[in-house]
Amino acid sequence: MNQFTYKRATSSAEAVREVAGNRNAKFLAGGTNLVDLMKMNVQQPDELVDINRLALKKIERTPAGLRVGALVTNSDVANNQLVRENFPALSEALLAGASPQLRNMATVGGNLLQRTRCYYFMDTTFPCNKRVPGSGCSAIPGFNRIHAIIGASDKCIAVHPSDMAVALAALDAVVNVEGANGARQIPITDFHRLPGDTPNVDTNLRADELIVSVDLPSSAFAKRSGYLKIRDRAQYAFALVSVAAALDIQQGRINAARLALGGVAHKPWRSLDAEKILTGAQANEQTFRAAADAVVKDAVPQKHNAFKIELARRAVVRALTDVANRRAGGAA
């Protein structure tokens, strides 16, 4: 790990000022991804601004739903009663991720900003367009079992590793940020980017901007939501494919639906085509299969991950079936 200057911020404004004044400075919250990347010299900030003392640790009701502070730990969000009752997919997604120790350290803001676990990205001996623009992508000709099947480019086929972000995408979350130019809101589906020609840029957050909270709007479909994660191990592994599904069902008819996939793309993948098929349809297997087909319609396999296409199809059907079968307002 390189040496760096360590500063503690006592206010959001101070934190933003500090990072705005040094393009090689980064915010430090839980550190579970940043410190790991620094140990491998993938990221080498010369200054860390410790934001752990900022007052961003509350989960509060708002007129529209719930506001979760950016520094709330993954564990605390997952175990929060209001989250479990009103946004069960979020609780399930968080508990499906990492380990208890990591969940106790990791924060909402950091989880959104965590970087891909592509093993070529994490190994500085390999060319990587995300780490060093223009150096090439080692995954495309290499071992790409855990890589993307949707939305990739010829520059990068990495996937976003977060479970939480997939649930947030299905729940229409909005990210509140503060920067040198003031505060703004970023809808979660605009937060993460596709790789295109600039895979080195993961998100649309500006370098000086600090995530302060995430807003979750209440809805009928949010209350009947769930998260399904498929992985090589029963625990403590990233998703091969995951699905966050949310359904508003009345008398067997789907009034509203949200569907987001993890493990398949550079960002949580909302399938608007699938949601159109679901909306207004009967909540049955035929509908779910049609939605699943729509999700993977444009999927493009890499050399080692073609299995993800059929896996994603089946996972979508399973997730929708599970969510349709449960009562609204309770995490599984």
Partner 1 sequence: MDSDKEREDSCFKGASGESSSTSRPCDHHEDESLLLSEDGEARRRFLKKTLLAGGGLAAANLLLHYQANASAQTRAAANVASTQASASALTIPVTLRVNGRSYPLQLEPSVTLLDALRERVGLTGSKKGCDRGQCGACTVLADGRRINSCLALAAAYEGAEITTVEGLARGDELHPVQAAFIRHDGFQCGYCTPGQIMSAVGLLHEGCPPGMTVRECMSGNICRCGAYNGILAAIEEARGAKA
Q: How many residues does the chain have?
A: 332
Shortest distance, CB of residue 330 to partner 1, whole angstroms? Answer: 10
Q: What angle do CA 275, 281, 283 make, to 5 degrees?
A: 95
Shortest distance, CB of residue 1 to partner 1, whole angstroms? Answer: 5
Using CA atoms, how far apart are residues 151 and 298, in angstroms rounded to an integer?
Answer: 9
Cα separations (Å) of 201 from 24, 193, 194, 205, 229?
A: 15, 8, 9, 9, 26
Q: Return the number of the residue (1 or 64) whose C-beta is nearest partner 1.
A: 1
Using CA atoms, how far apart are residues 43 and 207, in angstroms rounded to an integer?
Answer: 14
Q: Return the number of the residue (3 or 286) whose C-beta is nearest partner 1.
A: 3
In 3D space, the residue among 221, 219, 239, 220 whose CA is nearest the CA of residue 229 turns out to be 239
Shortest distance, CB of residue 62 to partner 1, whole angstroms? Answer: 25
Shortest distance, CB of residue 276 to partner 1, whole angstroms? Answer: 32
Q: Return the number of the residue (3 or 251) whose C-beta is nearest partner 1.
A: 3
Residues that bind partner 1 (CB under 8 A): 1-6, 28, 31-32, 35-36, 38-39, 48, 50, 52, 75, 78-79, 95, 98-102, 104-105, 234-236, 331-332
Shortest distance, CB of residue 208 to partner 1, whole angstroms? Answer: 21
Q: Return the number of the residue (193 or 326) whose C-beta is nearest partner 1.
A: 326
Say whether 144 sits in a helix, a strand or coil: coil
Shortest distance, CB of residue 209 to partner 1, whole angstroms? Answer: 21
> At which residue do the structure tokens 């398949």 appear?
264
Using CA atoms, how far apart are residues 81 and 91, in angstroms rounded to an integer?
Answer: 9
Using CA atoms, how far apart are residues 228 and 132, in angstroms rounded to an integer?
Answer: 34
Say whether 54 sits in a helix, a strand or coil: coil
Q: Return the number of the residue (35 or 306) whose C-beta is nearest partner 1.
A: 35
Q: Return the number of the residue (105 or 137) whose C-beta is nearest partner 1.
A: 105
Cα separations (Å) of 85 from 48, 205, 219, 247?
A: 37, 30, 12, 15
